[in-house]
Amino acid sequence: MLTKSTPDRLTDALARMPAVPERGRSPWADARRRFLRNRAAVISLLLLTLITLVCVIGPWLLPNAFDSTDWDAMSQAPGWKGWHLFGTDESGRDLLVRSLVGGRVSLMVGLLATLASVLVGIAWGATAGFIGGRVDALMMRTVDMMYAIPYLLIAILLVTILGREFYLVVLVITVFSWMDMARVVRGQTLSLRGMEFIEAARAIGVPTWRIIFGHVVPNLLGIVAIYTTITVPSVILVESVLSFLGLGIQEPMTSWGVLIHDGAGVMEASPWMLLCPGALLSVTLYCFNFVGDGLRDALDPKDR
């Protein structure tokens, strides 16, 4: 009768032993791993970082100032003459430097207005969803009323009345950009309100405001991150539209919307004045959208 050798018996015994569980990863580690697998999102994030760094540092490294004029190079085509690599405008100002400074302003408006709208939207939506009842109904009806107001028309009216300073443009955009975040946060809060850890916090007497901002809001960071990346490009686009209409950033400061407005007027004679800021704006908006898609897939893989 044949019997198994000692190595064979040892192999069978090892096969029957329970597998050692793999060391667990946090949900954020899993989300980071899924995000890094999305090549479009990673490349877009790298491009956004590069564009931001170039817009912040570039104007200090280039020899021409954004508001200085070269009377011998008015409406000059792109080239090496005078270090006007992207050409000049009708006043002889370097278009590359002005595009980078305009990008700095547009990105700053987008980030500041988005940050303010996210904070307002989180506070409003989380409070309405957690308290519920008449408070929820009143707060959300207010949001519905805000939706009914013509956004662009009121923005133009406010900018015309209050002025066209940088901080006023940010304020006007913030006033009408927090409602989407509020509705999303409110819906997520309604699903969290009945969870066991919320009921436990209520049972031990934790104040309502501490439950909202200490337990509910931290569990909403994933969806907030996704909608933040979606809000930034929409805010930049609104600022560009206002500046294009002459109601946003004013001279001598500039933005991508201002440059696109100037380039559209001389598009046939000097197409580079439109192509340079238009290309930067388009690439930035696409990158934000791809990063938002990557975050959505990473933080909610069932949505893919």
Q: Angle, to 10 degrees, between the axis of helix 221-244 and the axis of helix 151-162?
A: 60
Rounded Cα distance between 112 and 97, Å, is: 22
**Three-class DSSP category at 208:** helix
- Contact between residue 88 and residue 94 where contact means Cβ atoms under 8 Å apart: yes
Write down the mean pLDDT value for the chain. 81
pLDDT digits (tens, 9 = 90+) for 251-298: 778 888 888 888 887 877 788 888 888 899 999 999 998 998 888 888
Query: Is 74 within a domain?
Result: no
Task: Work out the angle at residue 112's Cα, subtended by the Cα atoms of residues 108 and 116, and round it to the nearest 5 degrees.
Answer: 170
In Å, what is the CA distance from 276 to each residue of 29, 38, 43, 94? Answer: 38, 28, 21, 12
Q: Residue 235 belongs to what domain range?
A: 37-64+80-303
pLDDT digits (tens, 9 = 90+) for 197-208: 888 888 888 888
Q: Which of 36, 10, 92, 43 is nearest to 287 (CA)?
A: 43
Query: Is 9 within a domain?
Result: no
pLDDT at 6: 46
In Å, what is the CA distance from 155 to each residue of 111, 136, 145? Answer: 18, 27, 16
pLDDT at 22: 44
pLDDT at 83: 72
Query: Is 92 within a domain?
Result: yes
Query: Is 32 within a domain?
Result: no
Q: Is the pLDDT of residue 239 over 90?
A: no
Tokens 């897939």 appear where? 297
pLDDT digits (tens, 9 = 90+) for 101-134: 989 999 998 899 999 999 999 999 999 988 888 9
pLDDT at 116: 92
Query: Is 73 within a domain?
Result: no
- Contact between residue 272 and residue 260 where contact means Cβ atoms under 8 Å apart: no
In Å, what is the CA distance from 109 to each residue of 76, 106, 256, 299? Answer: 30, 5, 11, 27
Query: Is 14 within a domain?
Result: no
Q: Is the pLDDT of residue 36 over 90?
A: no
Query: Is 279 within a domain?
Result: yes
Q: Which of 111, 112, 84, 79 is nearest to 97 (CA)?
A: 84
The model's pTM: 0.79
Domains contained in the chain, number: 1
| Joined tokens for residue 224 | 């907030």
Query: Is 149 within a domain?
Result: yes
Look up the CATH number of the domain holding residue 183: 1.10.3720.10
Contact partners, residue 110, CB within 8 Å, separation at least 6: 232, 233, 235, 236, 239
pLDDT at 19: 43
**Amino acid identity, residue 285?**
L
